[in-house]
Amino acid sequence: MPPDRAITGGADRVLSVLATLAQHDRPLSIAALVERTGLAQSTLYRQIALLKRWGFVFEHAGEYGPGPLCLQLAWGFDQSSFLVHEAQADMAALADASGETVGLMAAVKDQAVCLDMVESRHPLRCSFVKGRGLPLINGASARSLIAFMPDGKRQSVLHQIGRTIDAAALAQLNVALNDIRTAGFAVTDGQVDPGVWGVSAPIFQRPQQAVASLTLMAPSTRAADRAPQLTALTVQAAQRISARLQSL
């Protein structure tokens, strides 16, 4: 575990376990939790017992996953999140106008998390699933989220990324992020899923303070001749959502 993510307090430990379970789409064993959290097995059993008592964790055949209270929290988020609520109409309109899949993405620590998604009427195999996250490094969503972070937060994220890639790759990423900030959107092809093209534009709650990104995903073959149109539609939808958030 990176030093700056060391877990020292009791609250940090229990939240680390809960966050780890939330970020995986399958139950995890104690051994897997030890590997992912860096906590001792005895500590993990205590945190798991506490979370089970409150209904945040369930156990089956020696593996652990999010419990029923997590579902209630997720339902509450769906019902009350002002960001999701304000974005839904334009997400649906963008999906209808483009015929493609549209996602609302936010940065949560080192993950690009899908807050909401409108599926294409055409089949599309992509890694993004509502409620799940992917590493905050590759793909239009991740790069848009990083590019439009406040300077201090962006440098912190890049510092973490720099531990996993070499100096040349980090320099290339910095150049790409500067280009994205200049253009006002990110475009990638095949970085997360082979054959999937994506464009992502920032959503601002306040000027220069992006809270999320709006992402359109399409098969590369279908996007090839429509990239400028799909990009324009996505940027315009993100701008409408931003204007609505800033007027609240």
Average pLDDT over every residue of 29-42: 90
In this predicted structure, the answer to whether residue 124 has a pLDDT above a threshold of 50 is yes
Please state whether 81 falls in left (phi above 0), alpha (psi between -120 and 50) or beta: beta
- State how far the Cα of 18 lies from the Cα of 141, in Å rounded to an integer: 24
Give the CA-trace dihedral at 28, 119, 145, 210, to 10 degrees. -120
The answer on pLDDT for 248 being more than 50 is yes
Residue ranges of domains in the chain:
3-72, 81-247
- What pLDDT, on a 0 to 100 scale, did the predictor assign at position 9? 58
Range among 44-48, 145-149, 160-164 with highest mean pLDDT value: 145-149
For residue 121, what pLDDT is reported?
Answer: 83
Mean pLDDT of 178-192: 96
- Residue 5 pLDDT exceeds 90: no
What's the pLDDT tens digit per position in 100-111?
Answer: 999 999 998 788
CATH top-level class of 3-72: mainly alpha
Task: Output the pTM of the full model.
Answer: 0.73
181 band by pLDDT with thresholds 50, 70 and 90: very high
pLDDT value, residue 79? 52
For domain 81-247, give the CATH superfamily: GAF domain (3.30.450.40)
| Interatomic CA distance for residues 189 and 139, integer angstroms | 8
Note the pLDDT of residue 236: 98
Contacts of 76 (CB under 8 A, 6+ apart): none
